[in-house]
Amino acid sequence: MNALKLIIKFKNNSNMEAVILAIIFGTLFGIFFLFYSTRNKERMALIEKGADASIFMLGEKRKSAPFAKVFILNFALLLMGIGLGILIGSILYNYVGLEEGVAFSAAIFLTAGVALFVGFNMTKKLDKE
C-alpha cells in the first residue's frame, strides 16, 4: 500500500523525469562498473596464478576488418533492405490487397533481416581476407 502511495505522489510531482533519468544513468553505471571490475578481478587472478599476460591482447594476434568498414557495410545493406521492403510492401498493398500495416511491416522486417544476414556473411569474408 505504501508503494502505491509513493507512485501516486511521484505522479503528482514534477520531479518524476529527474528520478527516471537518475535510475537510467544509475543502471547504466552499475552495469559498466560490474563489467569492468569483474574483468579486472578475473585478469588479476589469472596473473597471480602465473598465466601469460598475452592472452588479454587478442586484437594483436588476430587481424580483423576495420570497424568503420564493417559498420558502413552493414548500415548500407540495412538501408537498402529497408528501401526494398518499402517497395515490396507497396506492391503487396496495392496489387495483392494485403492490409497496409501488415504488408509494410512484414516486408520491411523481412528484407532488413535478410540484408543484415548478408552483411554478416560479407563481414566474415572480410575477416578472412
**CA 71 – CA 77 distance, rounded (Å):** 10
The HSE-up count of residue 109 (CA atoms within 13 Å, CB side) is 6
Compute the average pLDDT of residues 100-127: 91
**CA 69 – CA 29 distance, rounded (Å):** 30
Q: In the chain, what are the domain boundaries?
A: 2-58, 63-128
The HSE-up count of residue 90 (CA atoms within 13 Å, CB side) is 6
What pLDDT shows up at residue 117?
Answer: 94
More confident residue, 3 or 73: 73
- Per-residue pLDDT tens digits for 59-86: 555 566 688 888 899 999 999 999 999 9
The percentage of the chain sitting over the pLDDT mark of 70, rounded to a whole number, equals 78
Mean pLDDT, the chain, whole residue set? 82
What pLDDT shows up at residue 35?
Answer: 84
What pLDDT shows up at residue 83?
Answer: 95
- Match 501488415 to its residue by C-alpha cell: 102
